[in-house]
Amino acid sequence: MFNFNLFKNDRKEEGDNQPLYKNAKIISDVDINIKAGEPYEGALWVKKQTKSGQAADFVSISIKPNDFLIEKQNEVNEEEKNTTDIPF
């Protein structure tokens, strides 16, 4: 859903309140909507080198809907519908 990189902050100094990693320009290709009450999955990878083997210092972050939990939630809701008493 939404992936971005945060790079080592070279301006970070001992005792200041700057972040260790940051990215001053994150641009999304699509609109991002995070719905309240919906389950999401977050992941973080520490990268010490690029795919080509060059030294690097950044983290990659990914946020996406947790399809497994959404499916489970839908199953529970469907079961509740099926077990509700029908008034006569």
Domain boundaries, the chain: 2-83
Distances (CA, A) of 34 to 39, 64, 65: 9, 9, 9
Q: What is the pLDDT of residues 35-88, one digit of tens each?
A: 998 999 999 999 999 889 999 999 999 999 998 888 887 777 776 666 666 666
Tell me the whole-structure pTM to 2 decimals. Answer: 0.67
pLDDT of residue 83: 66
Task: Say what the pLDDT of residue 86 is.
Answer: 64
The pLDDT score that the predictor gives to residue 9 is 93
Q: Which ranges of the chain does DSSP label H, i.e. alpha helix?
A: 67-83
